[in-house]
Amino acid sequence: MKYLIMIWHNPKSREIWESFSDAERAEGWRAYAELNESLNASGEMVISEALADPSQGRRVPAAEGQSLATDGPFPEVKEQLAGFFLVDCESFDRAMEIAGQVPESGLGLVEVRPILAMNGPDM
Amino acid sequence: MTEVESLLREHAPHVLAALVRHHGGFETCEDAVQEALLVAATRWPVDGVPANPRGWLITVAARRRTELWRNETARRRREEAVALLEPPEAEPPPDVDDTLTLLFLCCHPALTPASQVALTLRAVGGLTTGEIARAFLVPEPTIGQRISRAKQRIKASGAQFRMPPPDERPARIAAVLRVLYLIFNEGYTASSGPALHRVELTVEAIRLTRRLHAYLPGDGEVAGLLALMLLTDARRPARARPDGSLVPLAEQDRGRWDAAAIAEGVALVSRALTTTEVGPYQLQAAIAAVHDEAARAADTDWAQILGLYDLLDRVAPGPMVTLNRIVAVAMVYGPTTGLAQLDRAESDAALAGHYRLHAVRAHLLDLAGDREAAREQYRLAAKRTLSVPEQRYLESKAG
């Protein structure tokens, strides 16, 4: 089963990160490197990426008269996707265990969602 | 599958077993065979298939094994400065057929299911790492890593390349069957488009199970699983529309079912049920057989299906058996009886909130004529399923 582990950032979490010393930041990067390495070694990693700052993102404008968006494209107060892991593992519990190793999980900013499969049972 | 591919897959386990038997060291032998298969896959279509394909593969793999062994020895000498004990063998090993032993080793209990699946497909099925990765829609290094980790675990567990002792045999066969069934189910997909360039996992699963059945013809559950796969796969031509959307069993064009596969499956399961101890695969196959033997959906012998589910519920109870049994109850005694049993089943923690429960309730409500309530249940089920074709089907039923 594949699961997407999403790491969200918000102004509060960014504040915490910015307040970190170099050593604390290095500790954070090391935790990520270790998690990547262990998922590669176990054969559970599909892909993982970190996203550029939301200020670097662009949104495709809605066709005229079709706008459904209720927020501006880059609201400051909302949580923003900062990175993700796509893993292929045995169970939801195992995916949660992996997600628990993401440093941001301590802040309640990591979410796990199952991926839809292209095969299905008989009806 | 091309002729060369099928030839390679046919010979792969024999070649590997012969090498392991002669040299020991499953890990290195498996790598060597994989490389020999890759060489054959590129050379044979150009140079032609050699007169003795298996002998050719064994010779090339044995040579490659010696090279790998020398590299490994040199590396260890550099690292540990110790000489190794075993001199490399030059002559090719004898051709001994040990596919069954190989299958047991690949499904060793020390391995995770995902590793068992990957290793079985490569070492016994003769598939390349790339083919397995494409079939499971994951990157090649992910599968490569699962295989190498599986081999490390086998080594660490001290497992030997020999048949498990008789008292362990039933549990080990059960593990092999689970792996083969996992492979089959993974491949049992409704989508036609993207599957075209993928190895057909259902075909591979049937091929390997057929082989296992040839070695263990008296094992009722092996026969049962083979029958179940054949009887399920027989419906594949009618199971999806050209756009990939699912056709439910009751609406399938039964003229498109594979009559030969059905006949083979029915014969297999009938023989197993009368000559061996009954087991869950045989019962599931028997249920599939009852469906497959009905010329029209309306002719389905639901009373017989219910009887089989009652047995299955005793032999191997589980939440999905409970749900499917309730569908049969509804077909025999009417939807109201089914719905009442469904309410009771919902108290089972494994079923509460499960999308299949909503899907079954929707179906029974539809049968009972309560369209509005049915739509609500279809919507809930569609939201909760983890399968794209199923979600599309449930959404269409919700209307």
Q: pLDDT at residue B84 above 50?
A: no
Q: pLDDT at residue B192 above 60?
A: no
Identify the pLDDT of residue A68: 63
Give chain A's domain count: 1
Which whole number is the average pLDDT over B47-51?
Answer: 94
Residue-range definition of the domain harbouring residue A102? 2-53+78-114
Identify the pLDDT of residue A79: 87
**Better pLDDT: B228 or A76:** B228
Q: Do the domain assignments include residue A12?
A: yes
Which whole number is the average pLDDT over B370-383?
Answer: 97
Q: Which residues of A touch B113 (CB under 8 A)?
A: 90
B232-280 residue pLDDT tens = 999 988 988 888 788 999 999 999 999 999 999 999 999 999 999 999 9
Identify the pLDDT of residue B252: 95
Identify the pLDDT of residue B198: 63
The answer for B 96-135 residues in CB contact with A (under 8 A) is 112-115, 118
B387: closest chain A residue by CA: A117
Q: Give the confidence band of B72 by pLDDT, cuts at 50, 70, 90.
A: confident
Q: pLDDT at residue B83 above 50?
A: no
Identify the pLDDT of residue B97: 55
Q: pLDDT at residue B175 above 90?
A: yes
Q: Which residues of A touch B323 (CB under 8 A)?
A: none
Q: Do the domain assignments include residue A123?
A: no
Identify the pLDDT of residue B88: 46
A86 touches chain B (CB under 8 A): no
B185 touches chain A (CB under 8 A): yes
B288-309 residue pLDDT tens = 999 999 999 999 999 999 999 9
Which whole number is the average pLDDT over A13-42?
Answer: 94
CATH number at residue A27: 3.30.70.1060
Q: Which two tokens stand for residue A97?
A: 């265990």
Mutate: best of B387, B391, B392, B394, partner A, most A CBs <10 A = B387
Identify the pLDDT of residue B190: 47
Q: pLDDT at residue B44 above 70?
A: yes
Q: Do the domain assignments include residue A43?
A: yes
Query: Taking CB atoms and an 8 Å limit, are A118 and B189 in contact across chains?
Result: yes
Q: Do the domain assignments include residue A67?
A: no
Identify the pLDDT of residue A71: 59
DSSP readout, B291-348?
Answer: HHH-SSGGG--HHHHHHHHHHHHHHS--HHHHHHHHHHHHHHH-HHHHHHHHHHHTTS
B237 touches chain A (CB under 8 A): no
Q: Give the confidence band of B211 by pLDDT, cuts at 50, 70, 90.
A: very high
Q: Give the confidence band of B196 by pLDDT, cuts at 50, 70, 90.
A: very low
Q: Give the amino acid at B15.
A: V
Identify the pLDDT of residue B74: 82
Burial class (CB in 10 A: 0-12, 13-18, 19+), B60: buried
**Better pLDDT: B243 or A97:** A97
B323-369 residue pLDDT tens = 999 999 999 999 999 999 999 999 998 898 899 999 999 999 999 99
Contact in structure between B234 and B257 (CB atoms under 8 Å): yes
CA distance A98 to A89: 10
Q: How many CB atoms lie within 10 A of CB B307?
A: 16
B240-257 per-residue burial string, b: 16 or more CB within 10 A, e: under 16: beeebebbebeebebeeb
B137 touches chain A (CB under 8 A): yes
Query: Taking CB atoms and an 8 Å limit, are A88 and B187 in contact across chains?
Result: no
A46-52 own/partner pairs: CB under 8 Å, 24+ apart: A46/A2, A46/A86, A46/A87, A46/A88, A46/B138, A46/B139, A46/B142, A47/A85, A47/A86, A47/B139, A48/A83, A48/A84, A48/A85, A48/A86, A49/A83, A49/A84, A50/A82, A50/A83, A51/A81, A51/A82, A51/A83, A51/A84
Identify the pLDDT of residue B98: 82
Angle of helix B140-157 relative to helix B26-47, nearest 10 degrees, comes to: 140
Identify the pLDDT of residue B358: 96
Nearest-CB residue to B391 (from A41, A42, A116): A116
Nearest-CB residue to B138 (from A88, A117, A121): A88
Identify the pLDDT of residue A72: 56
Task: Note the pTM of the prediction, 2 decimals.
Answer: 0.88
Where exactly are the structural domains of chain B?
A: 1-97, 101-114+130-159+168-188+198-216
Q: Do the domain assignments include residue A69?
A: no
Q: What percent of chain B is modeled with pLDDT above 70?
A: 92
A118 touches chain B (CB under 8 A): yes
Q: Do the domain assignments include residue A64?
A: no
B101-134 residue pLDDT tens = 999 999 999 999 999 999 999 999 999 999 999 8
Whose tokens are 């209990």? That residue is B109
Q: Give the confidence band of A123 by pLDDT, cuts at 50, 70, 90.
A: low
Q: Do the domain assignments include residue A38?
A: yes
- Name which of A49-58, B59-68, B69-78, B185-194 the model is least confident about: B185-194
Which whole number is the average pLDDT over B82-94?
Answer: 49
Identify the pLDDT of residue B228: 98
Nearest-CB residue to A116 (from B144, B194, B386): B386
